[in-house]
Amino acid sequence: MILGRRSIHDYKPDPVPRKLIEEIIGLAMRAPSSMNTQPWNFYVVTGEPLNRIRAGNTERMVAGIPQSREFRTGQPFAGHHRERQIGVAKQLFSAMGIARDDKAMRRSA
């Protein structure tokens, strides 16, 4: 499927087996992320809560309300994402032999 493309216009009403969901999430967690920040959170929702989410999303889309994303690009990282970013930078600069206090070399790299 990765080498091909197709558009899905309708979905089966059958629930997705929990084992398959766990497998998909397990694979997704191994995907590369920018600067190893791993900015994802997973929520599996079923039943009535899922139906309410679907209805609310449809209402917002029909009303023309723009999408809202929890993780926005172009903004500085914060919290554990920022900590991971700093950790990766320290490892990278160390491997390149660039001292922490050598700001000119860090910028150049």
Does 9 fall in a domain? no
Domain limits for position 22: 14-66
94-107 pLDDT per residue, tens:
888 988 888 888 88
Number of domains making up the chain: 2
Q: Cα–Cα–Cα angle for 96, 100, 103, nearest 5°? A: 90
Does 72 fall in a domain? no
Taking all residues of the chain, what is their mean pLDDT, rounded to a whole number? 83
Residue entry with tokens 């989410």: 53
CA distance 59 to 24: 29
27-50 pLDDT per residue, tens:
888 888 877 777 777 888 988 999
Residues 18 and 55 in one domain: yes
Contact 83, 72 (CB under 8 A): no
Does 6 fall in a domain? no
Q: In angstroms, what CA-CA distances link 59 with 30, 66, 73, 83?
A: 34, 12, 26, 38
